[in-house]
Amino acid sequence: MSPTGKTLLEVDRLAVEFRTRSGTVRALEDVSLALAEGETVGLVGESGSGKSVLSFAAMGIQDPAARITAGSLRFAGQDLLAGKGAAMKALRGREMAMIFQNPRVALNPIRPVGKQIEDVLARHTDLHPAARRARAVECLAEVRIPDPERRYAAYPFELSGGMCQRVMIAIALACKPRLLIADEPTTGLDVTTQAAIMRLISELSAERRMATLLITHDLGLAREYCDRIAVMHAGHIVEVGPTAGLFAAPRHPYTERLIAATPVGANSLDELAAIDGNLPDLRRDDLPACRFAERCPQRAAVCDAPLALLPAEGSHRVACHLPRKVAHSLERKHVASA
């Protein structure tokens, strides 16, 4: 069921570029997305599409070579781009938190995991040392880590990958943030641990009415745990819609092919179909208005015209001059499941 909470994070026509020795990389262009309180939105797309760039920009931790050239970012009505560094640091970790892809890289290898949770509490609360320690142990218990008192003193190298990921979640949620960005939170984990981690994130999000942005390559995870899906391709958001509707009837040709290229869109491995071509070089000065155009079999002259993310049915939006018809998509889905 979709949440009815007010908008918490609002990205409006955001553009981000990177200055490199080989040219300027236009990593994001005209990106708009909103998350409501209690809502889980999945951000999917190929590697290099800009998913992590968007999340880093929202958290204010982008690479020094990155530059926001247009658009706005607002959190609970507060302009994140107008705020000074100190204001952003006050929000980050307290109101906004992030789970990174590789917990073994993100965690400090020479500091006990309990102390790393305490570091966040020391920065954002006025708890005295004994209370911080108690809260850190409580955080470990909340993420279902067995024997949290003993694990408090453990170092990351003493824990499994799944345990390290749980510690990352504990650090992110220590101050009970209103927004959680989970960047590939199940990377490198076995299927059973993946399911446990996602159930944990989902349960905590529901309990706290926390907005969650789930960045993932796994369309199966996105379909199971997200209220809405946003599809990214080469720095553009090309389609956004309720999860069930988007998977049943994708409107953008890229979304349709992305689903067809993954097991979630097929009944057998024989039905999987690769997406032709590669992502365009984002350093080019002649990038087409639709960055999927050069890979799209239905490209026409109209595709060279400027385009925007426009309403389709209901809250479904698509950035395509020639979107797939709903009847066509439903017919394809019916044939695939027959």
**pLDDT above 80: residue 336:** no
In this prediction, residue 266 carries a pLDDT of 55
Task: Quick: pLDDT tens for 163-194.
Answer: 998 999 999 999 999 999 999 888 777 888 88
In this prediction, residue 183 carries a pLDDT of 92
Out of 95-109, 232-246, 294-308, 315-329, pick the least confident.
Answer: 315-329
Is 101 strand, coil or helix?
Answer: coil
Is 195 strand, coil or helix?
Answer: helix
CATH of domain 7-95+177-337: 3.40.50.300
CA–CA distance, 203 with 191 (Å, rounded to integer): 18
**pLDDT above 70: residue 214:** yes
**pLDDT above 90: residue 263:** no
**pLDDT above 90: residue 333:** no
In this prediction, residue 134 carries a pLDDT of 96
**pLDDT above 60: residue 15:** yes
Among candidate residues 253, 251, 264, the one with its CA nearest the CA of residue 217:
264
For 15-39, give one letter per residue: b (16+ CB within 10 A) or e.
Answer: bbbbeeeeeebbbbbbbbbbbbbbb
Among candidate residues 207, 208, 225, the one with its CA nearest the CA of residue 216:
225
Domain edges within the chain: 7-95+177-337
Measured between its terminal Cα atoms, the distance across the chain in Å is: 28
282 CB contacts (<8 Å, ≥6 apart)? 25, 26, 27, 234, 235
Mean pLDDT (the chain) is 88
Please give the residue that has the higher pLDDT: either 231 or 197: 231
Task: Quick: pLDDT tens for 275-326.
Answer: 888 899 999 989 989 999 988 888 888 888 888 888 887 789 999 998 887 5
In this prediction, residue 290 carries a pLDDT of 92
What are 77's two structure tokens?
């009505």
**Percentage of the chain modeled with pLDDT above 70:** 92
Nearest 10 degrees: Cα torsion 204, 210, 213, 218:
20
Q: Look at strands 228-233 and 96-99 and give their pairing.
A: unpaired
In this prediction, residue 267 carries a pLDDT of 63
In this prediction, residue 83 carries a pLDDT of 66
The type of residue at 160 is S
In this prediction, residue 50 carries a pLDDT of 94
Q: Look at strands 310-311 and 40-44 and give their pairing.
A: unpaired
- Strand segments, DSSP code E, in 101-196 are 179-183
